């Protein structure tokens, strides 16, 4: 029985969430200017655009990554025996 490696789990979680975060960032920041968002925030912060894009992207990535991680957990569980759900040899 094949087990999924930690590396593979990390890849499965980080990479798709990275792609989704990229897409989300494009759509979101085409709609909103991060500099104005910074000023309109509850705790108004002067934010350079590059800072806004970067933090926004990392935020999207974190959220999407957390969701991926939960999904992975629900499917696999982090038990000691890690069967490969997709491929069996």
Partner 1 sequence: MTAKKTPQAAPSGGLYAKTEKIYPREVRGRFARMRTLAVFVLLGIYYLLPWVQWNGHQAVLFDLPARKFHIFALTFWPQDFFYLAMLLIIAALSLFFFTALAGRLWCGYACPQTVWTEVFLWMERLAEGKAAQRAKRDRGPWSREKLLRKVWKQAMWISFAAWTGFTFVGFFTPIRELGLHLVNFNPGPWEGFWIVFYGFATYGNAGYLREQVCKYMCPYARFQSAMFDRNTLIISYDEARGEPRGARRRGVEPASVGLGDCIACTKCVQVCPTGIDIRQGLQYECIACAACIDVCDDVMDKMGYPRGLIRYSTENAMEGKPSRVLRPRTFVYGALLLGLIGALITAVSLRVPLRLDVIPDRNALYQVVDATHVENVYTLRILNMDTRPHRFRITPEGLPGVRLVSDAETREVEAGGVLSVAARVRVDISALQGMRHDLEFRVESLDGSVSAEHETRFLMPVGGR
Give the nearest distance from C-beta 72 to partner 1 in angstroms.
11
Taking the C-alpha atoms of residue 9 and residue 52, their distance in angstroms, rounded to an integer, is 29
Please select the residue that binds partner 1; options are 40, 49, 66, 70, rule is CB under 8 A. 49
Give the nearest distance from C-beta 55 to partner 1 in angstroms.
9
Q: What is the CA radius of gyration of the chain?
A: 18
Determine if 81 is a binding residue for partner 1 (CB under 8 A).
Answer: yes
Determine if 45 is a binding residue for partner 1 (CB under 8 A).
Answer: no
Please select the residue that binds partner 1; options are 42, 43, 74, 78, rule is CB under 8 A. 78
Taking the C-alpha atoms of residue 8 and residue 86, their distance in angstroms, rounded to an integer, is 13
Interacting residues toward partner 1 by CB under 8 A: 3, 5-8, 11-12, 15-16, 19, 26, 29-31, 33, 48-51, 53-54, 78-82
């Amino acid at each position: 029985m094949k087990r999924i490696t930690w590396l593979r789990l990390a890849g499965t979680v980080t990479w798709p969430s990275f792609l989704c975060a990229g897409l989300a960032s494009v759509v979101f920041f085409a709609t909103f200017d991060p500099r104005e968002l910074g000023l309109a925030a509850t705790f108004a912060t002067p934010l350079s655009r590059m800072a806004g894009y970067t933090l926004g992207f990392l935020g999207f990535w974190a959220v999407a990554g957390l969701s991926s991680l939960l999904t992975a957990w629900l499917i696999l569980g982090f038990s000691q025996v890690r069967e490969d759900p997709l491929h069996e040899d």
